[in-house]
Amino acid sequence: MVRLMIIGMLALFSSASSFAATPQGRSLDGSANNRQHDDWGRANTQYLRVAAPNYADGVARPVAGPPTRYVSNRIFNDVGQNLFSENDVSQWGWAWGQFMDHDLGLRDETPAESTPIAFDAHDALEAFTNDLGAMGFARTPAAPGTGVSSPRQQLNTISSYIDSSNVYGVTASRLAWLRDSKARLLLTRDGYLPRRDARGNPATAPLMDLMGALMGTPNRAVVAGDVRANENIALTAVQTLIAREHNRIVAALPASLPEDARFEVARRVVGAEAQFITYTEFLPAMGVRLREYRGYDPSVNAGLGNEFAVVGYRAHSMIHGEFDVTVPAGTYPDAQLVAFAAEGITVEQPAGQVTLAIPLNLAFGNPDLLEAVGIGPLLQALGAEREYRNDEQIDNSLRSVLFQVPRPGIPDPGVCGVPVVNPDCFTGVSDLGAIDVERGRDHGMPSYNQLRRAYGLRPARSFRDVTDEETERFPQDRKLRSKDPINDPHILDFVKLRDGDGNIIPLGSPAAQEEAVVGIRRTTLAARLKAIYGSVDRLDAFVGMVSERHLRGTEFGELQLAIWKQQFEALRDGDRFFYLNDPVLKQIERSYGITYEHSLAQLITLNTGATVQPNVFRAAN
């Protein structure tokens, strides 16, 4: 048997057609990975569930709960105070995490029932104006055959495996557009992702999600394997990096190999690189320790869990409010620096350097900005600064102005930037935190305690159990209205800040915006949760999860860590092509000297020339 396997692998690499057609290679859509269950992990199959669906009518109607913008204003609102990762995880934590998210799951985005999220302009804790009167929200369509006589389920429209489907797509038609006439992926002359008009008629390009300024200039959108590649310049940069890596591998293969064989070798290595980085760098940096790998287990379904996709993997509070790009003086022409400033980017020029402070709201739907800044400087910047703490606080760029366009007529775009997003700059409100809670109800997520039980954890008996705080009562504070404290803006006041070593940081000082890791407010989180929900058994799973105190050495509370461990073990154990189980990868290395064992830092240097620290997941500063 072993001799036959060796002969088969040698034949695999002696003939390009046999490599391209081999049943050992991954399908685009994830089908046939598991030989006994063709549809496990395949695109357009239902999300799996760990817990029973939780619908008000047992079938489809979302459970009721406190208005989600009301919750957001009292729980997610960071009032402009930055808190950073206590483990010095860099912005690569969220950037690679989002890139992986787009490799694993994408709900069906076909327009379904519109159920706008209420916006109360008279809420005492509301700081923004919403000219639209409500926030747009549409339910995820029900999977065929569900939601009428059986509980409503939802489809994952892409492969759930870590297979770089976000680079190559899950359909032959998208991949055909993305490939050039040879084995490479289509890139511009400068090595950036192609725009919609790269092949002439933009109407023939694969569909891409549009947001921000791209709504008015859709042909400026880049095209990639995943429709969300334009969401922000960090994501677009990572998509570009991995496309460049594919082409680098192709160039290193013998020209005598036919094009399809070179393409498939590169695709196989790129998929393994993504797994290698995820399991040896990303997860350890986040504090996720998995049980020992014991090889491929065909009884494990590697499909994506609904609870993971809708609750556990939503870590939006990690996303930093700005990108600080520092380069040597002279990197950009003076005219470009003027153009940056006109966009609302803060430009500082200390001796011998230029620093760009790019507000997050300018980074949405703006691939032109990535090319102006440069992929190397941006990827360096992601590793230079810590991400925000993974907690209940969400930056206002995401909590209130996600994907929005600044209000016309603002005389100085700079006032819309940092460190606090100016409410007067925007015409509408789109709250990612409120959407996270609303999506959980839409998908029939269990309550917080129900979800803890489903993952083998003890339920919380009080809100103090959730947050690990001493009290769930509001203090007797002269600044609070005693009759109705939950509606008093002072409940969100920060009264004490500490750095990573436990030192007190003066409120309002420069260090308060750059060094704070722990923030203590006038009221406990437990008190605000109790005032909103009343009973801990009514707590939304997402809200409870992000409110938990972190376990030492991790970026997570107990529930979120359990969800990540279960899912990433399944994605590893149930994948026949996992990099530690795929013998073809070693054969590629022996035959062509090409290895998948590259750190993310090495991929950045190989494909951009930028110099970064060996472990980019730990902040350089």
In a domain, 499, yes or no: no
In a domain, 407, yes or no: yes
pLDDT tens profile 107-120: 999 988 999 999 99
Span of 205-219, 392-406, 467-481, 496-510 with lowest mean pLDDT: 392-406
Query: Angle at the Cα of 271 (from 265 to 273), degrees rounded to 5?
Result: 100
- Taking every pair of Cα atoms in the chain, the longest distance, rounded to a whole number of angstroms, is 82
In a domain, 380, yes or no: yes
- The rounded mean pLDDT for the chain is 92
Q: What percent of the chain has pLDDT over 70?
A: 92
User: Which pLDDT score is estimated for 397?
Assistant: 86
Q: Is residue 1 over pLDDT 70?
A: no
Alpha helices in 278-364 (DSSP H): 283-286, 306-307, 334-343, 360-363
pTM over 0.85: yes
Mean pLDDT of 199-227: 94
| 356 token code pair | 């760009």
In whole angstroms, what is the distance from residue 557 CA to residue 547 CA?
8
In a domain, 441, yes or no: yes
CATH number at residue 458: 1.10.640.10
Question: Which tops the pLDDT comparison, 405 or 106?
Answer: 106
pLDDT tens profile 83-92: 999 999 999 9
User: Which pLDDT score is estimated for 424?
Assistant: 55
Contact 235, 98 (CB under 8 A): yes
In a domain, 513, yes or no: no
In a domain, 480, yes or no: no
pLDDT tens profile 16-48: 443 443 336 999 999 999 999 999 999 999 999
- Amino acid identity of residue 463, one-letter, is F
Q: Could you tell me how many residues make up the chain?
A: 621
Phi, psi of 39 (to 5 degrees): -90, -5
Indicate the Cα dihedral angle 549, 64, 427, 72, nearest 10°: -20
Using CA of residue 478, residue 484, residue 490, residue 492, what is the dihedral sign? positive
Q: In terms of residue numbers, what domain contains 427?
A: 2-469+524-608
Q: What percent of the chain has pLDDT over 90?
A: 84
User: Which pLDDT score is estimated for 400?
Assistant: 86
Phi, psi of 578 (to 5 degrees): -55, 145
pLDDT tens profile 63-83: 999 999 999 999 999 999 999
In a domain, 483, yes or no: no
Mean pLDDT of 522-551: 98
User: Which pLDDT score is estimated for 13?
Assistant: 46
Mean pLDDT of 231-255: 97
Q: Is residue 313 over pLDDT 90?
A: yes
Mean pLDDT of 243-267: 97
DSSP 152-207: ---EE-S--SSS-HHHH-SSHHHHHHHB-SSSSBP--TTS-PPBTTTTS-GGGSPP
In a domain, 615, yes or no: no
User: Which pLDDT score is estimated for 279?
Assistant: 98
Question: How many distinct structural domains can be found in the chain?
Answer: 1
